Structure 1
């Protein structure tokens, strides 16, 4: 599997992902990695239909990604892995998938979370996952679209006294 982008965006497949990021990365496949979405047949169907026509999309659980990541049919496939939260990215990394960067697009506010940017809210579980990924030497960049200025997630968390 040729991972072109790992992105955290709780909206999963939407306009920015489907058009801008797909073209920018040159992918042929989007894999949504979410236990919740993989177990919800309606959400799974909607997500697989939301990708542009030239890009195949799949929805898999975190454990299923481990099964398909090393499959011979995936060897040269250019993919975007799309997650809704950093905890699942951490789980995938701990299970042995190697990568060196994560793009963070949007994490909406909900009860128990605190805003760290206008589009990203975190709770302690998110912070712990970001700290783990950073400690592994993984670059954590905040960018909604490719043309945006890159912000380092860990610096944003430090500035806000979250870490």
Structure 2
């Protein structure tokens, strides 16, 4: 079984994840992939406290996750994998993590070049990283919550929606 959701969300675990994505996929595991969280007992504890008790929480640094068994194996657990930035997911991909689709839900950059939605603002590095993933065969969509209509980044890059790509 593939991962239920692989998502870039600079807020990592928050209300949209807990209240919409977890029930939508009936997920039983959340994997947070972030170097800062993996290195901070306090941040790790806060994330674990925010997640319902019946959901397993696993936290990795980026390269560690790319090399981990959980990134390579496919089991029956419904798993949501969260990254805080597009560059982190590219680093994990380069370390061996493979996935078929990526959801971008919340992403903000102080160097915003492209405002894709109220919650997604990309800089040049984000755009280059998304192109890398698309070229590698990953389907990339923009969607905050399951009830939103997904926007396909390949069509956005081709100028299909007038959102600035």
Q: TM-score, normalised by structure 1?
A: 0.87
The count of corresponding residues between Structure 1 and Structure 2 is 160
Residue 113 (structure 1) shift: 1.9
**Retained in 1: the 8 A contact 2:143–2:149?**
yes
Name structure 2 gaps, 5 residues minimum.
Answer: none
2:11 is paired with a residue whose SS is coil
Residue 48 (structure 1) shift: 1.5
Q: 1:121 to 1:70 in 2, by over 3 A?
A: closer
The answer to whether 1:54 aligns with 2:83 is: no
Deviates further, 1-10 or 135-144: 1-10
Residues in 1 aligned to 2:164 and 2:72: alpha-carbon distance in whole angstroms: 42
Q: For 1:6-85, what aligned pairs fall within 5 Å after superposition?
A: 6-65=6-65, 66-69=67-70, 75-85=75-85
1:113 is paired with a residue whose SS is coil
The aligned residue for residue 127 of structure 1 is 127
The answer to whether 1:153 aligns with 2:153 is: yes
**Retained in 2: the 8 A contact 1:116–1:156?**
no
**Retained in 2: the 8 A contact 1:130–1:154?**
no
2:31 is paired with a residue whose SS is strand
Q: TM-score, normalised by structure 2?
A: 0.86
Residue 158 (structure 1) shift: 4.5
Deviates further, 45-54 or 5-14: 45-54
**Retained in 2: the 8 A contact 1:3–1:81?**
yes
Residue 39 (structure 1) shift: 1.3
**Retained in 2: the 8 A contact 1:47–1:59?**
no
Q: For 1:78-97, what aligned pairs fall within 5 Å after superposition?
A: 78-97=78-97
Deviates further, 75-84 or 26-35: 75-84
Deviates further, 26-35 or 149-158: 149-158
The aligned residue for residue 113 of structure 1 is 112
